[in-house]
Amino acid sequence: MNTQMADRVPVLIAGGSLVGLSASLFLGRLGVPHLLVERHAETSRHPRGRGNNLRTMELFRVAGVEEDVRAAASVLADNHGILQAETLSGGEQEWLFREIDPGGGLARFSPSGWCLCSQNDLEPVLLRHAAARGDLRFNTELVSFEQDADGVTALLRDRATGEERTVRADYLVAADGPRSPVRERLGIGQSGRGDLFHNVSVTFRAKRLAEVVGDRRFIACYLTDPAGAGALLPVDNHELWVFHLPWHPERGERVEDFTDTRCTAHIRAAAGVPDLDVEITGRAPWHAAERVADRYAAGRVLLCGDSAHEMPPTGAFGSNTGIQDAHNLAWKLAAVLDGWGGPRLLESYEAERRPVAVQTAARAAARSVEHQHPGFDAAPVGGPRTNVLAVALGYRYPEGALVGADATAGVVPERFAATGEVGTRAPHLWLRDRAGARISTLDLFEREPVLLAPAAGGARWAEAAREVSGLTGVPIRCLLVGEGGDLVPEPVPDLPAAGPRPAGPSGWPAVYGLREGGAALVRPDGFVGWRASSPVGDPVAALRVAVRGVAGR
């Protein structure tokens, strides 16, 4: 066995599934050299993890991959809603919800839209774009690692050749799944209700099933007849399908018990067609759980995605939360490695993301109960149903790399409102640049903190940004919005608010909670890090405090 000398890299990513590939994509966009290792030889072949919510698609938009993702998802572009039925061909049927975005109202809040793209179609897109800016090694496993005050030393092994190499990294990002060896080695525990239910995901081919489904273009159909209970998911709406069969290991059932004969009979019962042609092409067990790591970091090792949290699939919150973890972490790693981020910046990763995971996992479990997900026998819960938009876009950071956030505010609100408050996602508005190009405010946020100020009275903020950037070494991009400024807003639609707007002019300043002479500092991840709703006496002093907080100084 040949062991090479140590190589150096700023960031090592363990795991090359959705979250690891997203972390690579985001780091590459920020110019951070990195190495990703994935023990499997290729991306996932199994169609799973298909729901990409508004926030995730916004991140993919800014990263330049949204169009390619939508192209990869085109076969399911017309599928919407969750159907519940006894069998596909008879019995009672009910749409748990019919449309993701009835009436197209979500366009008021986002330049992007929900996208149904299965993991086996999404991962190759992410891989192609990430590989253009990073070093990605599949069929390579992280054998072991040790860390000290200055970095992490990792032993990697090529699984095809057995060749080993040692890599020295400043930071290790663990995106190595729910059974994370990295988390286990660190001794980080987990909290939550644990395993909730189990399924075996069966891929199969059945050409005649499309005739039974007809024009019902659902995301998933929950079948309730005991002989065929489970969830049917279309892969191509034609002949390729996935069926989730309830699995009860607590009763002694083994994955091996799900033979082709058993699965075929189950699918035929679910369809209500005793002689349906069924060709089983694969099966994979999965576990729905509610767990969150007790810590997201230990020294220079940081957890991301399923290594940090598990949640039921209902609502597609798990993969989206993981991708958003990666985005939060990427800009902070880039800032620290570039020298303008302070030591507290990486500490804010856990402070911000762990509460979101705890609340989102609970919402995902509640939604599984609401939808009576096959295999989950929990009793119904009272109270309002989970508001998906509030979870997807409305989550907030009461503490972290922020100045002036409301520490008493809930992490996930009951309903979504775009308010521009500190700790919330910056509201989407359409703007025109000086060349006349139409852009979203969200397109402005990726590489450095951005100071937005109304053009009228904004000159003081532009000068303050230049001075504070020079004093602190933090890059600050100041943009004046309004007639005569850098950007001109289009008319603002009437957006609902969580509370009263500040007195003053309407339009974009009101959406961001600003009066004339105010300003908002938006972080590279598109979250408001600080806001001066009104003019301040000393813009340089106020902005300097804000920038130091956002940069973790």
Average pLDDT, rounded, for the chain: 91
Q: What are the structure tokens assigned to 512, written together?
A: 């961001």
- Closest by Cα among 289, 282, 305, 401 to 357: 305
d(CA 371, CA 376): 10
Q: Is the pLDDT of residue 32 over 60?
A: yes
d(CA 112, CA 52): 11
DSSP codes joined into one string, 34-64: EEEEESSSSS--S----EE-HHHHHHHHHTT
pLDDT digits (tens, 9 = 90+) for 332-389: 999 999 999 998 999 999 999 999 999 999 888 887 665 555 555 554 444 445 688 8
Helix axes 317-338, 343-370, angle to 10 degrees: 180
Helix (H, G, I), strand (E, B) or coil at 487: strand
pLDDT digits (tens, 9 = 90+) for 270-279: 999 999 999 9
> What is the mean predicted confidence (pLDDT) over 507-520?
92
Q: Is the pLDDT of residue 65 over 60?
A: yes
| Backbone Cα Rg of the chain | 24
Q: What are the structure tokens assigned to 546, written together?
A: 């804000």
pLDDT digits (tens, 9 = 90+) for 227-250: 999 999 999 999 999 999 999 999
- Contacts of residue 378, defined as CB under 8 A and 6 or more positions apart, other chains included, come to 196, 365, 368, 369
Query: What are the structural domain ranges in the chain?
Result: 1-343, 426-550
Looking at residue 370, what is its pLDDT? 58
Looking at residue 498, what is its pLDDT? 40
pTM of the model: 0.93
Looking at residue 343, what is its pLDDT? 86
Looking at residue 39, what is its pLDDT? 97
Looking at residue 265, what is its pLDDT? 97
d(CA 272, CA 279): 17
CB 335 within 8 A of CB 203: no
Q: Is the pLDDT of residue 161 over 90?
A: yes
| pLDDT tier, 507 (very low <50, low <70, confident <90, very high otherwise) | confident
Q: Per CATH, is 426-550 categorized as 3.40.30.120?
A: yes
pLDDT digits (tens, 9 = 90+) for 374-384: 555 554 444 44
pLDDT digits (tens, 9 = 90+) for 105-143: 889 999 999 999 989 999 999 999 999 999 999 999 999
pLDDT digits (tens, 9 = 90+) for 249-270: 999 999 999 999 999 999 999 9
| pLDDT tier, 305 (very low <50, low <70, confident <90, very high otherwise) | very high
Looking at residue 154, what is its pLDDT? 98
Specify the CATH superfamily of domain 1-343. Answer: FAD/NAD(P)-binding domain (3.50.50.60)
Q: Is the pLDDT of residue 504 over 50?
A: no
- Closest by Cα among 310, 16, 299, 57 to 191: 310
pLDDT digits (tens, 9 = 90+) for 412-438: 998 898 999 999 999 999 999 999 999
| pLDDT tier, 72 (very low <50, low <70, confident <90, very high otherwise) | very high
